[in-house]
């Protein structure tokens, strides 16, 4: 059975593009954006995907918006909900409704640098390795069980933009891979630690970058 996926986004949709181009064993049943002008929605329409706009500014508060968003997601009957540059913190009620089938990609090696401005913070701290993390979403922001990570070296002449570009290239590599593992039923989550079903001896699924 093909894995049914709903994608949530807020911006340009570069991770959506990477997922589509990876030709995964999934069906993207809807792409939902909270910003009407998001480039990712335009790309979804170009690819013949169902694109839905839910403008968060039209709702009185986060709870009301997330309740409407959850209903919209649910009607597409997803096996997996993928956050692909979705720039809103999800409410506990939304997470509870889809927990265990809600994936996010974060531009840092969690648990380091949760939240925003990760590349600037990495440079300010002087770390020598930076990267990105695919994780299951839980109510604790950017602290859900880790599925995959990719590391990139921090160069002496890096700026936030140059570092972000190298990290983004790794996001485009490991996010489709993590989604493939989910779709193939290969991810095993035991006590908050995710491993591959055929590699339970490993402590993590690590995908190194360059």
Q: Which residues are catalytic?
A: 106
Residue 181's φ and ψ, nearest 5 degrees, are -60, -40
Q: What burial class does residue 5 get, using C-beta atoms within 10 Å of its C-beta: 0-12 exposed, 13-18 middle, 19+ buried? A: buried
Sheet harboring 129-136: ordered strands across? Answer: 51-53, 26-33, 3-9, 80-83, 102-106, 129-136, 146-153
Helix (H) or strand (E) run with residue 95 in it: helix 92-98
The pair of three-digit structure tokens given for residue 195, joined into one six-digit string = 């491993």
Q: How far apart are CA 55 and CA 34, in angstroms?
A: 5
The residue among 203, 83, 61 whose CA lies nearest residue 142 is 83
């Amino acid at each position: 059975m093909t894995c049914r996926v709903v994608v949530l986004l807020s911006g340009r949709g570069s991770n959506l593009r990477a997922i589509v181009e990876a030709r995964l064993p999934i069906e993207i049943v809807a792409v939902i954006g909270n910003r009407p002008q998001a480039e990712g929605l335009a790309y979804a329409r170009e690819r013949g995907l169902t694109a839905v706009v839910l403008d968060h500014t039209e709702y009185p508060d986060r709870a009301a918006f997330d309740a409407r968003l959850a209903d919209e997601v649910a009607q597409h009957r997803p096996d997996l909900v993928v956050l692909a540059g979705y720039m809103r913190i999800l409410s506990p009620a939304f997470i509870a409704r889809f927990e265990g089938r809600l994936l996010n990609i974060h531009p840092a090696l969690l648990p380091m640098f949760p939240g925003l401005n990760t590349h600037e913070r990495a440079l300010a701290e002087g770390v020598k390795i930076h990267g990105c993390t695919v994780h299951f979403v839980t109510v604790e922001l950017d602290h859900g069980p880790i599925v995959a990570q990719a590391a990139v070296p921090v160069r002496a002449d890096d700026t936030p933009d140059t570092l972000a570009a190298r990290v983004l290239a790794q996001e485009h590599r490991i996010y489709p891979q993590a989604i493939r593992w989910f779709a193939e039923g290969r991810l095993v989550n035991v006590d908050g630690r995710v491993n591959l079903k055929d590699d339970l001896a490993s402590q993590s699924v690590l995908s190194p970058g360059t």
